[in-house]
Amino acid sequence: MASLWMLFASFAFAAMGAGVKLASEFYSTSELLMYRGLIGTVVLLAAVRHRGGSFKTPFVKAHVWRSAVGVVSLWLWFFAISRLPLATAVTLNYMAPIWIAAWMFAHGWWNGTKLPEWPLVLAIAMSFLGVTLVLQPAIAGNQWLGGLAGVASSLISAAAYMQVRRLGQMGEPEYRVVFYFSLSTTLFGLAGTLAGDGPDGAVFQSHTLYSGALLLGVGIFGLLAQMAMTRAYRVGKVLVVANLQYTGIVFSSLWGLALWSDAFDWHVWLGIGVILASGIAATFYNTRSTAKGAVVKDTDPIASET
């Protein structure tokens, strides 16, 4: 089930990215971030209250850390999307699993614990090769700032993904993790908007039916993606889930075809095949060789991640 949750999350994140690209014509990065978080916060608040849930948590410090790195990463990604072609921004953001694997190797080597299985690491490397084939990113000289933001976003999001898994293994329900992240996103976006990060200074842009629909889509798809991703990292194995995240490239390519009439060359289809094959291989290897753990162990590199 973790694989299905991550596949859905990848689709929803791709839809959100397309919405952000379209909406960036009307709103600043911080304003987009604010509405992205506000919609999720309101929906979750109403749903959880209706079902009698609680937002009280014994893991305040963990939530603060997850929200901090997650919000910064999301702001950087939104900025990259607004400055770069969507395909290039998505490519840079999907470097996050590579950073996760690098972190786990470094942590395991430093502490003398078990390293990740080589087949899974190879599958992630092949997936990134597939990403390159699909998108063939090329950043022009005047797009270096957006490119730097995209790389920084992927690096920081790797820490956020591992913290999501840690919270899940600690027993924190998905809705609570996503609620505090959405609330933090709203507050951070509001602060950025008031500070005047947009071209017109501290101003809230007026809405049209079209731009409002884009904001609603960004918020809803972002919320659904966040919930699905949180569940996937809670019940699945981190490298397998991270590898399946690459299927978002396939969905992004389809959005590009539908919205911008992007043509597919042979190398694109080859890259899509590599991405899907490596995802299937990683999932197959994991189910054959590894039993999923339900509790946090001291030898788990994510368990001791601070």
Cβ proximity of 77 and 153 under 8 Å = yes
Integer Cα distance of 306 and 43 in angstroms: 30
Q: How confident is the model at residue 33 (pLDDT cuts 50, 70, 90)?
A: very high
What average pLDDT does range 181-198 have in this prediction? 88
What pLDDT sits at residue 295? 40
Q: For 131-156, what is the mean pLDDT?
A: 77
Give the pLDDT of residue 253. 82
Separation of alpha carbons 93 and 14, rounded Å = 11
> Which pLDDT score, from 0 to 100, does residue 210 have?
96
How far apart are the C-alpha atoms of 255 and 80, rounded to whole Å?
A: 18
Which tens digit of pLDDT belongs to each residue from 13-24?
999 999 999 999
pLDDT at residue number 239: 72
Task: Specify the pLDDT at position 189.
Answer: 94
Please tell me the least confidently modeled range out of 36-45, 72-81, 136-145. 136-145
pLDDT at 200: 61
pLDDT at 288: 59
Name which residue leads in pLDDT, 124 or 73: 73
